[in-house]
């Protein structure tokens, strides 16, 4: 089943466009934010089925943003996948230890990315 709403929190316009285009092509609806603060606000308002969160964001980073989402009763159960260029093993361990539900490295592998998104949505 597609049509779920997915929030993309990504400050790089090209990365955001790629993820948006891939998801919309598969029938998902998307919302976008360029900052963690804007992403948190949109998550509280629209309650997406899934959040894709960059880690390196201007201002608040993705790990801090995840902490705020988890602390809010309105957003604490929304699954969040980290989508990041931080591909070193210790970075991945730190990111997953912070409480993310999944991890995708950039540049994304479109096929693996779509499988990960679908699996996360099907967990609900």
* CATH at 14: 3.40.50.2300
The answer for residues whose C-beta is within 8 angstroms of residue 99's C-beta and 6 or more apart is 66, 67, 70
Q: Is residue 101 part of a domain?
A: yes
Rounded-to-integer distance, Cα 65 and Cα 72, Å: 11
Strand 80-84 vs strand 5-9: parallel, antiparallel, or unpaired? unpaired
Note if the pTM is more than 0.85: yes
pLDDT at residue 89 tops 90: no
Tell me how many domains the chain contains. Answer: 1
Q: What is the mean pLDDT of the chain?
A: 95
Q: Is residue 123 part of a domain?
A: no
Residue-wise pLDDT tens digits, 44-82: 999 999 999 999 999 999 999 999 999 999 999 999 999
Please tell me which residue, 89 or 116, carries the higher pLDDT value: 116
Q: At what angle do helices 62-71 and 36-46 cross, to 10 degrees?
A: 30
Provide the percentage of residues in the chain whose pLDDT is more than 70: 98
Q: Is residue 21 part of a domain?
A: yes
Q: Is 65 in contact with 36 (CB distance < 8 Å)?
A: yes
Range of the domain at 96: 5-110
Q: Is residue 124 part of a domain?
A: no
Rounded-to-integer distance, Cα 92 and Cα 44, Å: 26
């Amino acid at each position: 089943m597609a049509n779920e709403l997915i929030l993309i929190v990504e400050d790089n316009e090209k990365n955001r466009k790629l993820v948006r285009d891939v998801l919309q092509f598969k029938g998902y609806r998307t919302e976008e934010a360029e900052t963690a603060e804007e992403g948190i606000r949109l998550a509280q308002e629209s309650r997406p089925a899934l959040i894709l969160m960059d880690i390196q964001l201007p201002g608040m980073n993705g790990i801090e943003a995840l902490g705020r989402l988890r602390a809010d009763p309105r957003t604490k159960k929304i699954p969040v996948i980290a989508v990041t260029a931080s591909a070193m093993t210790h970075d991945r361990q730190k990111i997953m230890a912070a409480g993310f539900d999944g991890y995708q490295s950039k540049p994304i592998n479109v096929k693996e990315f779509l499988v990960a998104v679908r699996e996360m949505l099907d967990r609900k």
